[in-house]
Amino acid sequence: MTTTTAPRKRPGGRSARVRDTVYRAVGTLVSEGHRETMTIPQVAEAAGVNATSIYRRWGTIDVLLEEVAVAALTRDEPLPDTGTLVGDLSEWAAIIAADITQPHRRSYLRAMVAARDGIVEGCPCWAIRTTQAAEMIDRAEQRGEATPQVRQVLDHVIAPLYHHAVFGLPIDEAYARLLVSDVLTMGR
């Protein structure tokens, strides 16, 4: 009797380990002030991987910087579900504000902005925030609450938070909650 054993899959595997190592190397280089001058060979050396692996997966330093920044700035956390839109948006904005004001997060955000040149079709970070806002607004509509449009939440809550982070302007929970209060007066 012959039994075949399916090959065991490694959790995450080599590809995930390389990605994580490269992400950490980029984070270290950004925190050391190399975001403007960073090169793929420099990242490869810091990560202890072959530069061809990085070129094959990401192609350019700008693509790599953007992916690392998006991964750092949009962690996969459950959305607040407080039972009200004001509660959900306030908590969400406060979480984002607390996250993007951390020095290493601010560095990632600035690196992502620096990596973008010219007019860009879309931003993965913005797409994730759009999906999150839409989910909270949909829940509020199902509860019968008056809601602003998704675009209003993005333009009047998320954009000012990111703007303040990039330019080093003050951000705190009170500011995040004020933005939410303002956008909720905009209803449809």
| pLDDT value of residue 31 | 73
Answer yes or no: CATH 1.10.357.10 is held by domain 73-184.
yes
Q: Are 146 and 82 in contact (CB under 8 A)?
A: no
User: What pLDDT tens digit does each residue of the chain (188 aa) get?
Assistant: 444 444 444 445 668 788 888 988 888 887 787 777 889 999 999 999 999 999 999 999 888 887 887 777 676 678 999 999 999 999 999 999 998 888 777 777 777 677 666 655 666 778 889 999 999 999 999 999 999 999 999 999 999 999 999 888 999 999 999 999 999 998 55
The 10s digit of each residue's pLDDT in 53-75 is 999 999 998 888 878 877 776 76
Nearest to 143 by CA among 86, 72, 76: 86
Helix axes 61-73, 51-58, angle to 10 degrees: 70
Residue 125: left (phi > 0), alpha (psi -120 to 50), or beta? Answer: alpha
Nearest to 154 by CA among 103, 96, 79, 81: 96
Give the distance from CA 72 to its chain's centroid.
Answer: 5
Write out the residue limits of the CATH 1.10.357.10 domain(s) in the chain. Answer: 73-184
The 10s digit of each residue's pLDDT in 170-187 is 999 999 999 999 999 985
Nearest to 73 by CA among 61, 62, 65: 65
Question: Token pair for residue 118?
Answer: 């010219």
CATH class of the domain whose range is 13-59:
mainly alpha
